[in-house]
Structures are given as C-alpha cells and as structure tokens.
C-alpha cells in the first residue's frame, strides 16, 4: 500500500471547544414603531419629572434661605426699635428731671408759702365740722407767714376751729405739720421735688428691670397652657 497520502492527525493543532460568545453574531434587535415612541415618551416624562423635582428643591431652598435672611433682618429691626424707644425714654426722663431741678427752686421761692397756705386752708375746710382745736407747726418764718392769713380765714368763714401756732425749728422752711385730736396732716414743700425725681427715676428703673422678667413669666405661662 502506498504511504505518500497518509498524514498525521495532530490534536494540538485542532480546537474542539465550542465557539466563544463574542464570536457569535448577535441577532439584530427588532422594535416596533409604537415601542420606540413609548420608550421615547417614558424617557421624556422621567427626565421631565426629575428636572421638575430638582427645580422645586432648588426653589424651596432659595425661598428658605431668603426667609431666613428676612427673619434675621426683622429681628435686627425690632432690636433697633426697642433700643431707639429706650433711648428716647431715657432722654425724655432726663430732660424732665433736669427741668424739675431747675424750675422747682424758683417756684418754691415765689409760691411756696402760698401753696402751704392753700394746703392748710383745704384741710380746715374739709375738717371744719369735726375739728375742735388744731395745732399748726412750722419754722418761725413759716408761722409768721401763715398765722395772720389763717386767723383771718377762720374769722371770715365762721369756723369753730381754734388754731394754735407752734414754732418748731426741726422742720425745714416752708414745711407745715397739722395736728388734731384724732389725726393730722403734713406738707413738706421742698421735699416734693426730690420725691418727684426719686419716684420718676425709681419707676423708670423698675420698668426697665422688670420688663424682661415679665416677658419670661408670660412665655412660661404660655408654655404651661394646655
């Protein structure tokens, strides 16, 4: 038998494995026109929804930031207004107190004894039915100013009151003290200015001191309200 056509079969030069997936030719996709339009519509709607949500978030954040700035500005304006009102009150009180300190001595010098006389006269008129005897106490100068006028007043008005005048140097000038059996009255003319100044200053100081406390109490009351 001739051997010239016989060839060796070499296993290392032949591959019996199945072909790789990438070697396979993929099938062409098949979509209908309706499916393509539906996919495009769904993609558009999804993108629009996402865009609207992002836009809404940005708008809300912007509004929130602007509201925060506005609230802070309002707080600043309220604080400035409170400070302005407090400064105005302080100036008004200061001017009023200075006016009292300047004017009152002149009023005292010009009208003090007249004011004291009017005061004693009003007491006598109010007590004319119940007073039997009244003692008038004051400095020597005050008694000298009051006695003639008060005695004339008693005589002119037919009062049954008996006046007894007593000089008491422990009192200040233009001060007068009235005493009777069941009571008495007193008028300290020059002390009035000091009392006014002290009362106004005390009231204003207490007002500014107590206000925050009152605000805190009101807030606590609101918090405790069911």
| More confidently predicted of 208 and 188 | 188
pLDDT for position 220 = 47
Could you give the CA distance from residue 74 to residue 86 in angstroms, rounded to a whole number? Answer: 18
pLDDT classification of 148: cutoffs 50, 70, 90: very high
Q: Enter the DSSP assignment of 165.
A: E
Residue 217 CA, chain-centre distance (Å), reads: 13
pLDDT above 60 (res 168):
yes
**Residues linked to residue 177 through DSSP beta bridges, in sequence order:** 137, 186
Could you give the CA distance from residue 108 to residue 165 in angstroms, rounded to a whole number? Answer: 22
- How large is the average pLDDT for residues 180-189? 83
The full set of domain ranges for the chain reads 70-217
pTM above 0.95, yes or no: no
Of 135, 127, 190, 202, nearest in space to 162 by CA: 135
pLDDT above 70 (res 141):
yes
pLDDT for position 172 = 84
Instruction: State the architecture of 70-217 in CATH terms.
Output: 2-Layer Sandwich (3.30)
Could you give the CA distance from residue 116 to residue 186 in angstroms, rounded to a whole number? Answer: 10
Could you give the CA distance from residue 193 to residue 198 in angstroms, rounded to a whole number? Answer: 9
pLDDT above 60 (res 169):
yes
Most confident of 13-17, 124-128, 191-195: 124-128
- pLDDT single digits (tens) 83-133: 888 777 777 777 766 776 666 565 666 667 888 888 888 888 887 776 678
Are 124 and 159 in contact by the 8 Å Cβ rule? The answer is yes
């Amino acid at each position: 038998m001739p051997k010239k056509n016989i060839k060796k079969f070499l296993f290392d030069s032949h591959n019996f494995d199945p072909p790789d997936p990438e070697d396979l030719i993929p099938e062409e996709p098949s979509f209908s026109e309706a499916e393509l339009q539906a996919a495009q519509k769904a993609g558009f709607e999804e993108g629009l929804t996402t865009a609207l949500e992002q836009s809404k978030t940005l708008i809300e954040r912007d509004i929130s930031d602007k509201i925060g700035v506005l609230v802070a500005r309002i707080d600043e304006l309220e604080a400035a207004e409170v400070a302005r009102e407090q400064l105005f009150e302080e100036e008004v009180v200061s001017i009023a107190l200075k006016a009292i300190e300047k004017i009152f001595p002149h009023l005292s010098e010009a009208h003090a004894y007249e004011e004291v006389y009017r005061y004693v006269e009003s007491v006598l008129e109010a007590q004319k039915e119940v007073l039997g005897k009244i003692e008038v106490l004051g400095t020597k100068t005050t008694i000298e100013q009051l006695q003639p006028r008060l005695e004339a007043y008693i005589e002119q008005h037919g009062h049954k009151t008996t006046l007894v005048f007593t000089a008491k140097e422990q009192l200040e000038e233009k001060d007068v003290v009235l005493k009777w059996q069941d009571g008495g009255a007193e008028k300290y003319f020059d002390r009035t200015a000091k009392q006014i100044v002290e009362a106004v200053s005390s009231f204003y100081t207490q007002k500014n001191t107590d206000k925050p406390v009152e605000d805190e109490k009101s807030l606590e009351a609101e918090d405790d309200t069911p």
